[in-house]
Amino acid sequence: MISERHLAPAALDSPTSRARVVEAVAPLVFRTDLEAPGFMLLDLGHEHSPARFRAHLVDLGRTLADHYALEFGDALRFVSCSRFDQQSPTRPHRDGGPDASLLLLGYEPTSVASTVYLLDYTRAAADRDLTPVEYLDAFNPAFGTNARLLDSYTEEADGFDPTRYQILIVNNSCLPYADRHRGMLGVLHHAVIFAPDRTRSRVIDSVLLGVTETGLDDARLDAFVVNGVAATA
């Protein structure tokens, strides 16, 4: 299974090359079956600046939305964007957002060691004849020892290297398997930070897109790109 890809430094610079990346990534992320991973890690190397990196995140989001509209007939809009320094480990979770949503996590380079795990709770739910929402109601891995139930559904983001600019594209949906034709079968995610160090930072630029009526306008996306200003639609 390919779930990690090194990109050439200019691979996201032009609409044509971005579209090529999205063609390769989309079937893995907008999955219509449970064989596809539901996530993809893109490695952009060292040669960026945070603002250029955020521009890539937003441009990639737009190109993924174009692809989704063409292939699945629904409009994916920007729901929120934010920039934060995160060193506390997270329990497995789905980011809050529309039932059909896509998360773009942009990791800026850091010397703080960490890794990220993806958990296929949609497959775990289907194996128990539950919908993903019913699964979370009954066995939410954020609580108690429930996370163990997902051990055999968990994958580490292969090749994750915190010293490089990386984008993790995560299908963040909670649609049931019966709606798989929409390409929105989601996975959960969580991070493990091995030795948090407050003297250093671990910056994540996070962009959420979803099938929703209203989205962020270009002005707010520009403010996020240029200055990292957070916004919610």
Q: Interface with Fe ion by CB under 5 A: which range of 57-65, 90-98, 160-168, 195-203?
A: 90-98
Nearer to Fe ion, 204 or 231 (CB): 204
Residue 86 binds to Fe ion (criterion: CB under 5 A): no
Give the total residue count for the chain: 233
Q: Interface with Fe ion by CB under 5 A: which range of 1-9, 47-55, 92-100, 149-157?
A: 92-100
Residue 134 binds to Fe ion (criterion: CB under 5 A): no
Q: Sign of the CA dihedral 129, 99, 120, 146?
A: negative
- Burial status of residue 33 (CB atoms within 10 A of its CB: 0-12, 13-18, 19 or more): exposed
Q: Interface with Fe ion by CB under 5 A: which range of 4-12, 91-99, 140-148, 224-232?
A: 91-99
Residue 204 binds to Fe ion (criterion: CB under 5 A): no
Closest CA to 123 of 190, 33, 41: 33
Closest CA to 122 of 37, 224, 64: 37
Tokens of 222: 């520009």
Contact predicate 70/22, CB 8 Å: no
Nearer to Fe ion, 94 or 123 (CB): 94
Q: How far is the CB of 142 from Fe ion (least distance, A)?
A: 11
CA 11, distance to chain mean position in Å, is: 19
Q: Which helix (H) or strand (E) holds 209?
A: strand 203-211
Residue 95 binds to Fe ion (criterion: CB under 5 A): yes
Closest CA to 86 of 117, 112, 122, 125: 112
Q: How far is the CB of 103 from Fe ion (least distance, A)?
A: 7
Contact predicate 183/31, CB 8 Å: yes
Tokens of 4: 């990690």
Q: How many residues bind Fe ion (CB under 5 A)?
A: 1
3-state secondary structure at position 4: strand
- Site string (135-154) toward Fe ion, x via CB under 5 A: --------------------
Q: How far is the CB of 195 from Fe ion (least distance, A)?
A: 21
- Site string (46-85) toward Fe ion, x via CB under 5 A: ----------------------------------------
Q: How far is the CB of 206 from Fe ion (least distance, A)?
A: 7
Q: How far is the CB of 155 from Fe ion (least distance, A)?
A: 16
Distance CA 153, CA 156 (A): 10
Nearer to Fe ion, 88 or 214 (CB): 88
Nearer to Fe ion, 18 or 119 (CB): 119
Q: Which chain residues interact with Fe ion by CB under 5 A?
A: 95
